[in-house]
Amino acid sequence: MSDLKLKLLNLMQEDCRIPLEKLSVMLGISMQETAEAIEEMEEDGTILRYRPVVNWDRINVNRVEAMIEVKVTPQRDMGFDAVASRIYRFDEVKSVYLMSGSYDLLVLVEAATLKELASFVSEKLSVLDTVTGTATSFVLKRYKQDGVIFEAAAKDHRLVVSP
């Protein structure tokens, strides 16, 4: 990956709505070059999607999240990738990671109610042949996600004017 693309990604990770014009000024390249670099990354799957980081607690909506540690027996002709793909196809599943350590897959699940989530685990996840065990932990509060702190806005402690 070129240094330019890396710098672009860093800026866009901070705020993906910085206008093209500004990005190009900041990086000292033309708008054309900037647009092309972004397009390339969109096409080759480096940039998958642009989404807001949402603090759902600010919205009155039913939403339960859980992290499920999943133990899996990899079977002949069916490695972790295949098991993972069985799991990530469920709409409730928002993220799936293959992990080192005492379990194999970490599955992040979202549902409207606790009941829905529970039934996902018991009726959809646990019943998969290769899943040998699950441990579900519910998210109680979100403090920071994707580098964004949720409640306490970073305070600028600097003097308004200094030499």
Partner 1 sequence: MSERFLSPRVTAVPPSGIRRFFDIAGTMKGAISLGVGEPDFVTPYHIRNAAMDSLLAGETQYTANRGLLSLRAEIAEYLTRRFDVSYDPETEILVTIGASEAIDLALRISIEPGDEVLVPDPGYVSYAPCVTFAGGTPVPLTTRAENGFRIDPEALEKAITPRTKALIFPYPNNPTGAVMRRQHLEALAPVIERHDLLVISDEIYAELTYEGAEHTSIAALPGFKDRTILINGFSKAFAMTGWRLGYACAPAALTAQMNKIHQYTIMCAPRQSQVAAEEALRTGRENGYKDILTMRDSYDQRRRLMVDAFTRMGLSCHTPEGAFYCFPSIQSTGLTSEEFCTRLLKTEKVVCVPGTAFGPSGEGHIRCCYATGLKQLTEAFLRIERFVWQLGVNK
Give the interface with partner 1 as residue ranges (CB under 8 A).
Answer: 7, 11, 14-15, 18, 22, 25-28, 156, 158-163
Nearer to partner 1, 15 or 146 (CB): 15
Nearer to partner 1, 44 or 156 (CB): 156
How would you classify residue 101: left for phi > 0, otherwise alpha for psi between -120 and 50, otherwise beta?
left
Report the candidate in 73, 80, 89, 74 with the shortest Cα–Cα distance to residue 133: 73
Nearest distance from residue 25's CB to partner 1, in Å? 5
Nearest distance from residue 18's CB to partner 1, in Å? 7
Nearer to partner 1, 48 or 152 (CB): 152
Nearest distance from residue 160's CB to partner 1, in Å? 5
Nearer to partner 1, 50 or 100 (CB): 50
Query: Which residues fall within 8 angstroms of residue 112, CB to CB, at 6 or more apart?
Result: 62, 63, 64
Please give the biggest Cα pair distance in the chain: 69
